[in-house]
């Protein structure tokens, strides 16, 4: 199975900051990586797919990059609603696997 390692597990930031979250795959997953945002008690919401494609309706302050084994999610100009948890997921092959999550805190 492909292991997904996210870092950091938590990050402290302020409104207006830029935050970068990293996801590393245990093997080459090409560009088949997605990023999700999850707020407490809610279902995950798709932000980015295919490593860098912004899902419809998602603000442009969210961006993704990377290929192969190393990927990043960048949130520019942090807004109050962005302080929550983010997960990466490899979509290269079954079994799909998720990173452990990154909590963005004030």
Partner 1 sequence: QVQLVESGGGVVQPGRSLRLSCAASGFFFSSYGMHWVRQAPGKGLEWVASISYERSDEYHADSVKGRFTISRDNSKNTLYLEMNSLKPEDTAVYYCAKDLPSRHCSNGVCYPDAFDIWGQGTMVTVSS
Chain positions contacting partner 1, by CB under 8 A: 1, 32, 34, 36, 38, 42-46, 49-50, 53, 55, 87, 89, 91-101
**Are the C-beta atoms of 43 and 84 separated by less than 8 Å?**
no
C-beta closer to partner 1: residue 16 or 95: 95
Min. distance of Cβ 51 from partner 1 in angstroms?
A: 9
Scan for tokens 């290929």, then name that residue.
67
Nearest distance from residue 34's CB to partner 1, in Å?
4
Strand partners, 97: 90
* Span between the terminal Cα atoms of the chain, in Å: 34
Q: Is residue 31 within 8 Å of 67, Cβ to Cβ? A: yes
Q: Which is nearer to partner 1, 10 or 77 (CB)?
A: 10
Please identify, using beta-carbon distances, which residue of 5 and 77 lies nearer to partner 1. 5
Report, in Å, the least distance between residue 96 CB and partner 1. Answer: 4
Q: Which is nearer to partner 1, 9 or 77 (CB)?
A: 9
| CA atoms within 13 Å, Cβ hemisphere of 82 | 24
Peptide bond into 95 cis (omega under 30): yes
- The nearest distance, CB 15 to partner 1, in angstroms, is 26
């Amino acid at each position: 199975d492909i292991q997904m390692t996210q870092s950091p597990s938590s990050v402290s930031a302020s409104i207006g900051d830029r935050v970068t979250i990293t996801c590393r795959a245990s093997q080459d997953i090409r560009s088949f990586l997605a990023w999700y945002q999850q707020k407490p008690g809610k279902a995950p919401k798709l932000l980015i797919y295919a490593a860098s494609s912004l899902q419809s309706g998602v603000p442009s302050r969210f961006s993704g990059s990377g290929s192969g084994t190393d990927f990043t999610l960048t949130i520019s100009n942090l807004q109050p609603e962005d302080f929550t948890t983010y997960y990466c997921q490899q979509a290269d092959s079954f079994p799909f696997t998720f990173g452990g999550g990154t909590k963005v805190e004030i």
